[in-house]
Amino acid sequence: MQTFYCLTFLHSLGQNMNLLNSGIHDALFFAEMWNSIDNKGVWQGEIWNRRKNGNIFPEWLTISAVKGADDTITHYVGTMMDITARKAIEQHVHHLAHYDALTDLPNRTLLIDRLHQAIAQARREHSLLALLYLDLDKFKPVNDSFGHDVGDLLLKEVANRLEACVKRETDTVSRLGGDEFVILLSQLDRQSAAGLVAENILTSLSQPFVIQQHILDISSSVGIAIYPDDGLDANTLMKNADHAMYQAKCAGRGCFRFFRPEATR
C-alpha cells in the first residue's frame, strides 16, 4: 500500500520533520537527505517512521523538490510505502540462512563469519581464541532405539545446556549438523580458560536427559584448537579442532583434548 503526502517547505537544511519522527535517525542522516534534495532535486531510501500509536515501522520514502515558475522551490512532495511485510520476509530468510532450523543456534555459515571477525580482533589485540569441536557419544543408538523425534528433542536440550555453559555475549555456540556442535570462545587471555569451559560442558552433558519419559545417558568428546598456535585462519582452526575431537574419542570418549600436531601423523 502506498501513501502520498505533501511536505511544506523547510528552510533549515537537515531539519527533522515531524512527519519522520521515529527518533532512530540522527541529524547527520537528515543533513545528507536534504543535501541530496538540494543537489539532485530528489532523495529516496529506507527510513523508520512512527505510527500514531507509537509503533516504529520501516518505509520506503521518496522526496522530490517542486519548483515554481521562477525556478525556486515551493514545496516538497513525498511518496511513502510501508515495507513492514517485506522487511519481515527478508529477516526470516536471513534467519533461515544463518541459524539451525532445529536448535535455532548459529549454523556453520554464521559461525565461520564470526570466526573470521574473532580472528581479526585477536590479531589486532594479540589475544587468544579457542574453537571447541564437540561430538556426542552414543547418539546414534538414541535415534535407533527411540526414533528421530526423541533424537531431535535431545539435540535441542543439548543446545540449551551448551548455551548455559557459555554465557559471554562474545562467544558463540553453533550446530554444524547431526550431533556436531562448535563453540567459539573469543578474547581469551590464557589457553586454560578453554579447558575450563570444556570441563563444564562435559559435566553438564554427562547428566541424564529426560526426554518424553525416557532417561537418556550420553557423553561427548571435545577437541580444542587455539589461535594462533593451532592455526591462523578459520579453515585450519576448524580442521585442527576436528582432529582434536577425534583424539578425544580415541582417548576413551567423554573427555576433551587440545590439538596435538604429532597425533595427526
Residue-wise pLDDT tens for the chain (265 aa)?
555 444 444 433 334 455 556 778 888 988 898 899 888 999 999 988 887 787 888 889 898 888 888 888 888 888 888 888 888 898 899 999 999 999 999 999 999 999 999 999 999 999 999 999 999 998 999 999 999 999 999 999 999 999 999 989 999 999 999 999 999 999 999 999 999 999 999 999 999 999 999 999 999 999 999 999 999 999 999 999 999 999 999 998 899 999 998 776 6
Is residue 225 helix, strand or coil?
Answer: strand
Tell me whether strands 219-227 and 256-258 are parallel, antiparallel or unpaired.
parallel
- Asked whether residue 94 is domain-assigned, the answer is no
What pLDDT is recorded for position 224?
A: 98
**Where is 176: in which H helix or E strand?**
strand 172-177
| Options 137, 179, 230, 242, the catalytic residue | 179
Expressed as residue numbers, the domain containing 39 is: 2-89
What pLDDT is recorded for position 167?
A: 85
Q: Is 179 a catalytic residue?
A: yes
Same domain membership, residue 64 and residue 124:
no
Please state, in angstroms and as integers, the Cα–Cα distance from residue 216 to each residue in 115, 201, 259, following that order. 33, 17, 30
- Asked whether residue 246 is domain-assigned, the answer is yes
- The pTM for the full model equals 0.73
Same domain membership, residue 83 and residue 14:
yes
CATH number of the CATH domain containing 226: 3.30.70.270
- What is the Cα–Cα distance from 229 to 232, expressed in whole angstroms? 8
